[in-house]
Structure 1
């Protein structure tokens, strides 16, 4: 059996409507703001500061460094033997490119006998950002237009060169 409802009970009261509207607006704003959060990432070696500090020049060798820190990110191919451990922390804004927020480069050099000679640590100060000039690469020489490129050699074929155009000179 259906009970008749009054017209006022069928409608939402003004106060209830404003509360639902405000909650929906807050929910939509929260969803939009979560899309604007930056993405943080770690790339490379996970360095343990205690293990890094335990590497001592003159005490450790290649085997002990590998057992302590693990395999290096890469090794030097030329010059003094060196192992590099590289770690980079990046952040990326929405619709942007990742930018380095922190970087650690640990360089362990070895002497001729395979013992640790030096341990150097550098950071973000060594990062270089390159910004290309434009879509064109600057070159030496003249700037020629389309028609000059197309018709520039007319009359130049068979012209006298340094030898006066004589064969064998």
Structure 2
């Protein structure tokens, strides 16, 4: 062993110190977990009852929604996510919960639906450019492309031949 030149008691101290340093080094590689959004309490979520609760009672029980629908039936969404990321990495969703509470026109609860991580969609952008329809033009075509078209006949612009 590399500590064989030390007395037996000192070997144990150095071995314990080396073990502590290794443990501290490994703990710095642990993932960082963050809870985002609505705090999901199953007891409160399950207490929302269609036909009994209304918008006021839902807000008193669960708080303000994460966001509301803008079109269609009035729906409140409560979104909760648990993300984790390792050192020098982007966060990844580990747990995801969405509660959608739908209301009728009078503000009474019609339904309360739960969904989870199975509905999460991961989008990966295709490079740093947005694809568009049409043809690709060079810098010079963009710069000089309108020469001769301003005020040309048939465009309705004043100043061209035959124009007013």
Scaled by the length of structure 2, the TM-score of the pair is: 0.75
CA shift in 2, pair 1:140/1:25, >3 Å: same
1:133 maps to 2:130? no
Among residues 93, 99, 106, which one is paired with 2:99 in the alignment? 106
Distance 2:72 2:112 in 1: 16
1:14 maps to 2:14? no
The alignment covers a number of residue pairs equal to 156
1:74 maps to 2:71? no
Distance 2:4 2:74 in 1: 79
- CA drift of 1:26 comes to 2.0
- Give deviations 1:113-143, integer Å, cap 9, x for gaps: 2211011111112212211111233333444
Scaled by the length of structure 1, the TM-score of the pair is: 0.73
Aligned residues of 2:77 and 2:98 also touching (Cα < 8 A):
yes
Query: What are structure 2's unaligned runs of at least 5 residues?
Result: 155-159
Query: What are structure 1's unaligned runs of at least 5 residues?
Result: 1-11
Classify the secondary structure of the residue corresponding to 1:96: coil
> Residue 157 of structure 2 aligns with which residue?
none
Among residues 20, 28, 33, which one is paired with 2:21 in the alignment? 28
- Give deviations 1:63-88, integer Å, cap 9, x for gaps: 22222222222222222111111111
Distance 2:140 2:103 in 1: 61
Classify the secondary structure of the residue corresponding to 1:118: strand
Q: Computing the radius of gyration over CA atoms, which structure comes out larger, 1 or 2?
A: 1
Alignment of 1:143-158 (within 5 A): 143-144=136-137, 157=148
CA shift in 2, pair 1:117/1:14, >3 Å: same
